[in-house]
Each structure stands twice: as C-alpha cells, then as structure tokens.
C-alpha cells in the first residue's frame, strides 16, 4: 500500500470542500489500495457525517452510511432488498459496508485486481485480457470490445428493479438520479462506471413505495454458498390478482456490466397466469442480445433458469 494522507471531516460541507477519495466501510477501497489498484494520495473518512437513518414512510429512504446488515434487518425493507443484502459477502463485511459504498463497488474481474496485467478499466488503452482469457465469471449482456466485466453488487440489482433513486450532493449542487441511469455500460470508456461527478457524494438512497414488492425475492447462484459473487442472480417481484399477473419487476446480476433490468420479461409476465409454463416463456426472452464469451456460454441458460427459480420462489413454488 502506498502512503496517503487521511482526514475525517465531521460535516457534509467540510467533506465536500475537501479533495480526495471518500471512504466509509472501506471494504472495497482498502482492499484495492492494498493491491495498489487504487492509490489515492488523500482519503476522506466520512463515517462521522450525519448520513444515517432508515425511514419507511411512503417508500424507503436509507442514509448512504447505513450499514448493509442494519438495512437487511429492518422489518419494512422489501424482501428482495434484504435477501440481496444477506446473500452479499460475510456477516463481518455486511456490518462494515455502507449502502452508498456498496453501490460504488468495483468489479471483481481478476485482471482488474492484478496490476501486473493489462486492463482497459484500470489503465485505458492497455487491453482486455478477459476477452480471450479466463472469462467464466464475466458478462454476456452490455459488454463492449473494451470490457466484459460484471457489476459486483447484489443489492443494486434489487434496487434497479424497484426504480430506486440516489441523492447526489456536491459543493455546487444537489441532484437526484435513477440508479438505472446512474450506471454506465463500458463502451469505449470502461473506467467510467457511473455518473458520479468529481467531488460528489451519495447522501441518500430512495426506494419508491411499491406495496406489492412485499411479494418479492432475490435468488443468487454462485459456486459456493457463502462469501462468493454471483454467477447469475435475479430480483423479482410479482403483483398477482385473481390468478393473473398484474405487474412484475425483474432485474438480474452476475451476467451484465451493470445491474440489468429485464423489461421484456416483465412485459411477457403481465397478464399471464402465474404458472411454470408462463414463467419459462417469459424467461425465454431474457437473454436477447447476449454475447457469450468462450468460457461463459452456460450463463445464457443459467440466466433463464435463475429467473424461473426466483419466480417460483416468490409464488411459493406451488404453481403448476
């Protein structure tokens, strides 16, 4: 790890007036600093800022410094959010990691984390060894010739399904943007992963009210049962009335360069009966536009099966 200067502002104004890299739980930043992937000269510890609180009146609002474990344990949090949080990382990490930091976590691509290797995301123009190398964990949706890395966050998948917004504040302005618009696909600039501007801070995460999201879940398929990133995941919510699906939310992770909303699957579910056959038909369009790599072609069928499993889970698996 390279030497760096550490300061700990106690107000949002002081934090925004400073220059440097913000750190909250440190579960991504410190990791990458130890690997010399990130080498900030100045780090601003923002843990003393008044950015806590979980409010559940007319939707959900999380202060950006709320810990993952506290949000997961809150009784009013929609099941797809709490399950996504509980299936993320270890209990120790969930106790430390903030919701704001979770949304900004970097990819787990092994080449990105190894400074001995080229990587367009870390060093623009150096190349993407994952395109022809070890790419079993990589994306099949939203990729470009420059980068095929997946987005690592579980809870971001659930939050995108729920039309969540983030509040962003800088010394100049405050703005609110949809999380789905906040993330950027790699294109020719894979180093730019989101719309966060220099000096900007996430202060709040805002989940609109959606009462029927109480009937929701998050399914995560991975190589081992704990402390592992997703090969494929699905956040789904279903609004069922009179044995018909009135509305649906579906987003997936582990297969795309950003948390991936599947509006075509949602449209296929609307008006259908909540049956296995209808779930399979709807999931059949999930992989439209997918570009599998030599090592991850299995994700095309895994994606469909994960969505069906999540839909069955949210209907108690009792549909025939």
| Residues in contact with ligand SF4 by the rule CB under 6 A | 107, 109, 111-112, 119-121, 128-130, 147-149, 190
Kindly provide the b/e burial profile for residues 68-99, where b requires at least 16 CB atoms within 10 angstroms of the residue's own CB: bbbbbeeeebbbbbbbbbbbbbeeebbebbbb
Q: Least distance in Å: CB of 139 to ligand SF4? A: 8
**What is the spatial order of strands in the sheet that 42-45 belongs to?**
5-7, 42-45, 21-23
State which residue, 148 or 219, has the beta carbon closest to ligand SF4.
148
Pick between residue 18 and residue 118 the one whose CB is nearest to ligand SF4: 118
Which CB atom, from 86 or from 109, has the smaller least distance to ligand SF4? 109
Largest CA-CA distance found in the chain, in angstroms, rounded: 63
CB of 85 to ligand SF4, least distance (A): 25
Q: Which residues contact 290 (CB under 8 A, 6 or more apart)?
A: 140, 141, 255, 299, 300, 303
Rounded Cα gap, residues 230 and 220, in angstroms: 6
Nearest approach, Cβ of residue 106 and ligand SF4 (Å): 9
Cα separation of 107 and 125, whole Å? 18
Q: Give the nearest distance from C-beta 30 to ligand SF4 in angstroms.
A: 19
Query: How many angstroms from the chain centroid is the CA of residue 252?
Result: 9
Backbone angles phi, psi at 253, to 5 degrees: -135, 170
Residue 232, CA distances (Å) to 17, 141, 221, 251, 283 in order: 40, 12, 5, 11, 14
Tokens representing 56?
């559940």
CB of 117 to ligand SF4, least distance (A): 7
Please, which residue, 149 or 207, has the CB nearer to ligand SF4?
Answer: 149
Looking at the Cβ atoms of 56 and 194, the one nearer to ligand SF4 is 194
CB of 293 to ligand SF4, least distance (A): 10
Q: For residues 63 and 190, which CB has a smaller minimum distance to ligand SF4 in the complex?
A: 190
């Amino acid at each position: 790890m390279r030497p760096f200067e550490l300061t700990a502002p106690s107000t949002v104004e002081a934090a925004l007036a400073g220059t440097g890299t913000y750190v909250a739980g440190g579960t991504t930043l410190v990791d990458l600093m130890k690997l010399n992937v990130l080498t900030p000269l100045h780090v601003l510890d923002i843990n003393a800022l008044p950015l806590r609180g979980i409010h559940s009146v007319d939707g959900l609002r999380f202060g950006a410094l709320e810990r993952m474990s506290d949000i997961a344990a809150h009784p009013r949090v929609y099941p797809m959010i709490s399950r996504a949080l509980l299936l993320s990382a270890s209990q120790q990490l969930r106790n430390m990691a903030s919701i704001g930091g979770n949304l900004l976590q970097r990819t787990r691509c092994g080449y990105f984390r190894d400074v001995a290797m080229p990587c367009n995301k870390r060093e623009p123009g150096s190349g993407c060894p994952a395109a022809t190398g070890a790419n079993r964990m990589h994306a099949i949706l939203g990729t470009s010739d420059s980068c095929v890395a997946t987005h690592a966050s579980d809870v971001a998948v659930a939050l995108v399904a729920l039309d969540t917004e983030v509040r962003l504040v800088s010394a100049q302005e405050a703005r609110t943007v949809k999380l789905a618009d906040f993330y950027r696909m790699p294109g020719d600039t894979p180093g730019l992963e989101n719309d966060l501007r220099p000096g900007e801070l996430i202060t709040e995460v805002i989940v609109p009210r959606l009462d029927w999201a109480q009937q929701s879940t998050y399914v995560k398929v991975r190589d081992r049962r704990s402390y592992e990133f997703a090969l494929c995941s699905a956040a789904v919510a279903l609004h069922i009335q009179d044995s018909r699906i009135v509305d649906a939310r579906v987003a997936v992770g582990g297969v795309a360069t950003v948390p991936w909303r599947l509006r075509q699957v949602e449209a296929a579910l609307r008006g259908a009966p909540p049956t296995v056959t209808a779930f399979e038909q709807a999931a059949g369009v999930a992989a439209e536009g997918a570009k599998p790599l030599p090592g991850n072609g299995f994700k095309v069928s895994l994606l469909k099966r994960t969505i069906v499993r999540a839909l069955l889970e949210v209907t108690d698996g009792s549909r025939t």
